[in-house]
Structure 1
Amino acid sequence: MSQQTNGSSSLLASLAPGSFVILWSSGFVFAKMALPYAETMTLLATRFLIAMALMLVISLIWKARWPKSMTQALHIAIAGILLHATYLGGVFAAIERGLEAGVAALIVGIQPLLVAFVAGIFLKEKITAKQWTGLVLGVSGVILVVWSKLEDGLGTELGVAIAVIALIGISIGTVYQKRFCGEMDLRTGAVIQYTAAAIPTGILAYFTETMIINWTGEMIFAMAWLVIVLSVGAISLLYLLIRKGAASKVSSLFFLVPPTASLMAWILYDEVFQSAALIGMIMTVLGVALVNLKPIKRFGLRSRPG
């Protein structure tokens, strides 16, 4: 019985990183599904409030620990504004302004690449030739994709600029959370972060939008997916990965997000990457992979004798 349980746990730990990437990728297409029925900030503020309530219930049931000080709670809140309000707000707003879901995923998908170089510069770590190659490939690929899509009339310069703001938000937020929120419990931390993110998005919604949500069947399904599967499920999955010591696998697989999101967008919305854009996509994926992939030995895996 014990061996069967251990085997199930090992299988779950093996499947979890890839599952997390798929869930993360689905956020782009479900954002596109929901946006016809609500404006960006109204949609996000509602999503954050529902997710906050669900995570609060989860935190109370499992008696998760809360921050020990107001300073720690403030750091968690700031990271939440960057990672949720700025990042998701930018992605949703860019898609609302005509940027394809796959292109939005590609732009913000170079976040691991950007974080690696920012950390390398500020922490005085050596940047290798492979990483420089990845940087050039990744950025050049994004430029090629964006240029190709704009030439075809798919998206606007404003949408691209907003997606870049989202990229900056998640990049700074990632570094900030690693620096100041290392001891955060992901359940109670999510309650604080979703609450913090709901404040600026709610204010913007109140002053700039109608705050009307058309609760169609498709909207309800999209909101349920965004809240339950992503805001609650993905966070719980990430918690499992960290507890199992496999969090590094999520980072190493992050380069798969843009092509996965693009495949979903093609299936659901017939978004197609023509030759130049497809080349750019491949360049970007390879660039992020060069910077972000770690040797297999870093995961504690050893080859078995044949």
Structure 2
Amino acid sequence: MKYNNYYFKLKSYARNYNINPQTKKYYNLDFAYLVELSKLDMYIRKIILELSLDVEHYLKVRLLNDLSDNSKEDGYNIVGLFLQYHRNAGADIQSKADKYSFCSDLAEKHLDEYKEPKKLAVWNIVELLSFGNFMELYELYYQTYPSFNYSDYLKSIKFIRNAAAHNNCILSTLRKPNSLKKFSKTKKLANILGKIPEFRELENRDAMMRNPVIHDFVTLLFVYNDVMKVSATKNVRNKKMEEIRHLFCDEDGRIRKNKIYFEKNPYIKESYSFICSIIKYIDKKNKNPKHTNFLQ
């Protein structure tokens, strides 16, 4: 532990275990189980970051394509509205120009003599916005020019992306979810899952989707597989999903390597089983040439 982790973080995974009220000790918990959960957490965080970075990129691509086909929009008007409604985004661009940043030169290039953002187009500003600010721009565009989009799912993706990026303990919340009082399920996703025969009869579907981490990871999986469905990216998507399926669901995959550790923990077993069923369903649909979208 001296070189790989620290006690406070490792101990957080014990939240997934019940405590004997008399002895004040955890039921069916060994130190090795905490170590294994921390390793699995690392693999899952890496997956989350890979998928969310691809989602962010291809949402930008799709937004720019939709804007190019929109005769009512020149690319500047929507940015003017955005900076009017979200002044913090303009301030963020200014701050990037003033400090050491990978995009500081680009930010400085688009400031006027008074250090205010010049007239920017969408294709300029998307390179300067944080993911949170890009979400706001994305939502504003599709509110102004309604067509199919993924706005309903972006909050969930941002939540789990940030958790993974900050090395938060994803798997420590299977029994006691964080921020449960502030969390609300995405109704569209709940309706979609309710219509899928493979999940309609699952007794624990609603319970699983009430857990913010599980809900947001499932959301990320569906959005990723939707935005990467075009011919130019489909092969990359399928290869990544094969890796994820192997990691999670195959007997020789890393997630199942020490499955015996968790045989007596219903929170971990049920969460794993649910996620694996989602991955297998997505993988099966991706192999069906008649399949189009998951979320439309």
TM-score, structure 1 normalization: 0.29
The structure number with the bigger radius of gyration is: 2
Structure with higher RCO (Cα < 8 A, 6+ apart): 1
TM-score, structure 2 normalization: 0.30
